[in-house]
Structure 1
Amino acid sequence: MRTYFKKEFICFLFAIAVLSSCKKIFNLPNDKDYLSSNVNYSNKIFEPIIGRTTVIGGFNGDNSTQPIKFEIVNARFGDGRPVTDLFQKKATYVWTAPYNGLEKSLAEIEAKRKLQEHPLFEVLPSGEFILWASSTNELIAPRPADSTNFPQDTRFFDLKITNTGGHTIIRDFQIRPFRERPYEPSDDFNIYSGGPAPHPKTPYNPLSRNYIRPFLNNVIGATTDIPLESNDDKKDVVVYIRPFTGGTGNSLRFKFLNKDSVEMNPALFNETVWDKIVHGFNFQKTLTYAQYDVAYPIPLVEIPTIYAPGGTRDHAEFRYSRIGFGGVRVVASFGIDFAIYRKGDWEIVFHFLKDNPKFENE
């Protein structure tokens, strides 16, 4: 049995030697990788939002041999002018260790990411494209405020795809970036002009205005004794997401205004689980606001956590209870699913416009 396998192995080595010698004697070429003529993308028009790290583009290699090299070439506007703004290099955060939402301090979070120099827009080794959060309206001019898409305002580029089997070029990708929207929901924000958004029912009335709407559950009006609502027809409560001054540079504050625009005490929302509102630290609860030190963006990574169950937005819910009719304890809640993309001091304000919530027992 051993003799048989030994003979087979010797024959195998002999065959390899013969093939190698033939290649040298007859100068046969090395085998080339395969590069399909059908490599393509599911979409060639990209419309990312400036100021957010966004991965886009679905590459189909059609079984081409890896590794494949990707290179953006011939970047130009529709009128032929060269495009250079997309490729400015700026420092941007790159994760070097996994974020999981269990970090116990800002320092622990920051230890997991580093600032690295990257072009604002580039192609990744996977063939996907990325617009980094370091992009701004000042660095990359957004699409026109009047919402037109003229060729002279559109950036085009081609993509050179190479492996040892050769190369091919996919032509005429387009990138039409929207201006920065520092937060979501952004119902109050005109995505083209950056000004206030008109009310959806009166879109051509420059005096009308849309607002961010919270969710409301069992929130009863103190005066009307009916449930408060926030929708296209009725806005008993609206939300403002806006910068404030006097924070740490990494602050997130929650405020509550009554119908007279007077700040309400957060302690009124006595069933709120404050340590699950946001992944923040150094919590402060004063008579007029609740505040955290946070790392931006919020959420930091688009994965499900106790703060962002859906992954893409933080879930901030404020709860309180009172005794209703029949002696039954009623729990009311309101809040917002939100994201903030720009570092700074931000406040989220819930404004009860027409009636205050009812806290008294029946």
Structure 2
Amino acid sequence: MSWVLNNERLEKMNFNLNNNRIVFLLLFISPLAGCKKIFEVPAEKEYISNKISYSSKLFEPVLGRTALMGTFSADNSTQPLTFSIANARYGDGRPMTDLFKPKEVWVWTGAYDGKEKSLEEINSKRRKEVHPLFEVRSSGQFILWSSATDDLVAARKADSTNLIQDRRFFDVKVSNSGGEVIIKDMELKFWRERPYEPSTDLNPFTGKVAPHPGDPRNPNKRDYIRPSRLSNIIGKNTRKALVTDDNTKDVVVYIRPFSGGNGHSLRFKFLNKDSVAMNPALFNETKWDLLVHGFNRKSTAEYVQYDVAYPIPLINISTPYANSGKANVNFVYSRIGFGGARETGTLGLDFSIYREGDWEIVFHFRNDNPKFEDE
């Protein structure tokens, strides 16, 4: 009997003890909850460094070409960061507005790989969008679009002077929720538009004919584009291999617009020493269907022409038609030489064309014609 009573007394003691613990916990928690309401702890702020920077503050792009510029260092700042161009101005304080005109540009929406079978297939992977001529991307890189041309933006002066009123400056505001930093005095110096490369035939300051590098003051001499490859092409009269170097230019190249095209064509021509058109079929080993990424080939006795998409090359990747940011063309022929051996001559050019339109690339044999006939 006493054992039963002791158990009942023990159970009551445990019950009271548990209740006391609950009351104590409630009394302890209630003030904390009240403190949280009174002393609200703010969310942790993002970090932005005062040492964020670009590897260079000076950019010197060529007008008429899409160019990505700027290597940005966030210095461990919390990402993402927001970038904006501020206080665009000339050196004398005048506002600089011409760079922010909106213009249509091609923007890729799909992956170009050089295997496309038509212009329509190429253009299905890109679209026209309206963008300012110059803007900053979410990565901090700056982009100058190909729509920034000579007629819209003034390039550096022909005499290469650097007057303060002609210099272009801007600041960059970089921010996140932790604050903002202003990177001051970024500078742009534009080169005049050169719509193609190689452009050794153009004066980069004036856009006119380039003087001869060995005799720059002689108005009767000029510089030319030279072939990238000239191999084993024998002169018909001299019976010597044709050469092209600083002193002798047996073969030169002209890259120029022509009239009467469809607005997106590329033509190849060859001129003899009398400036008369040669039949491209003389280059009898040329792989015409693999020459460029072009379509609807038209071959005549004076030229070979393709429908193409501009710029050429479209992007900087390696394809059967381009490498290292340049399109690569080779014109090849073979003939029987002395001793009955077959000899192969090659004429080639690595080039780019940045402006959409109708262009022709002309190879001019200035001093002697190639010998195509067998010995």
Question: TM-score over 0.5 for the alignment?
Answer: yes
- AA partner of residue 167 (structure 2): T
- Superposition map of 1:343-358 within 5 A: 343-358=356-371
Kindly indicate whether residue 140 of structure 2 is the aligned counterpart of residue 127 of structure 1.
yes
TM-score of the two chains, using structure 1 as the length reference: 0.92
Cα–Cα, structure 1 residues 321 and 174, in superposed 2: closer, same or farther, change >3 Å? same
- AA partner of residue 132 (structure 2): P
Contact 1:23 1:29 in 2 (8 A): no
The equivalent of 2:256 in structure 1 is 242
Kindly indicate whether residue 280 of structure 2 is the aligned counterpart of residue 266 of structure 1.
yes
Cα–Cα, structure 1 residues 237 and 152, in superposed 2: closer, same or farther, change >3 Å? same
Give secondary structure in 1 for the equivalent of 2:281: helix
Kindly indicate whether residue 76 of structure 2 is the aligned counterpart of residue 63 of structure 1.
yes
Match of 2:337 among 320, 324, 328: 324
- Superposition map of 1:186-201 within 5 A: 186-201=199-214
Kindly indicate whether residue 209 of structure 2 is the aligned counterpart of residue 209 of structure 1.
no
- AA partner of residue 112 (structure 1): K
Across the aligned residues of Structure 1 and Structure 2, the Cα RMSD in angstroms comes to 1.5
* Structure 1 residues 228-279: Cα deviation after superposition (integer angstroms, max 9, x where no partner): 1111100000000011111111110000001111110011001101122111
Give secondary structure in 2 for the equivalent of 1:107: helix
- Superposition map of 1:334-345 within 5 A: 334-345=347-358
Match of 2:93 among 56, 65, 80: 80
Mapped partners of 1:114, 1:144: distance in 2: 35
The equivalent of 2:24 in structure 1 is none
Mapped partners of 1:344, 1:77: distance in 2: 33
The equivalent of 1:289 in structure 2 is 303
The equivalent of 1:4 in structure 2 is none
Cα–Cα, structure 1 residues 22 and 303, in superposed 2: closer, same or farther, change >3 Å? farther
- AA partner of residue 47 (structure 2): Y
Mapped partners of 2:327, 2:190: distance in 1: 25
Cα offset, 1:327, TM superposition: 1.9
Mapped partners of 2:128, 2:88: distance in 1: 26
Contact 1:121 1:130 in 2 (8 A): yes
TM-score of the two chains, using structure 2 as the length reference: 0.89
Mapped partners of 2:284, 2:146: distance in 1: 37
The equivalent of 1:45 in structure 2 is 58
Count, aligned residues: 344
Contact 2:316 2:323 in 1 (8 A): no
Contact 1:265 1:287 in 2 (8 A): yes
- AA partner of residue 350 (structure 2): D
Q: Which structure has the larger Rg over C-alpha atoms?
A: 2
Cα offset, 1:25, TM superposition: 4.4
Structure 2 residue ranges without an equivalent (≥5): 1-30
Mapped partners of 2:295, 2:32: distance in 1: 67
- AA partner of residue 326 (structure 2): R
Cα–Cα, structure 1 residues 165 and 338, in superposed 2: closer, same or farther, change >3 Å? same
User: Aligned residues: percent identity?
Assistant: 61
Mapped partners of 1:47, 1:221: distance in 2: 43
Contact 1:179 1:194 in 2 (8 A): yes
Mapped partners of 2:185, 2:247: distance in 1: 44
- Structure 1 residue runs of 4+, over 4 Å off? 18-25
Give secondary structure in 1 for the equivalent of 2:322: coil
Give secondary structure in 1 for the equivalent of 2:185: strand
Cα offset, 1:351, TM superposition: 0.2
Cα–Cα, structure 1 residues 308 and 22, in superposed 2: closer, same or farther, change >3 Å? farther
Cα–Cα, structure 1 residues 349 and 34, in superposed 2: closer, same or farther, change >3 Å? same
The equivalent of 1:222 in structure 2 is 236
The equivalent of 2:160 in structure 1 is 147
Mapped partners of 1:38, 1:289: distance in 2: 58
Mapped partners of 2:32, 2:346: distance in 1: 77
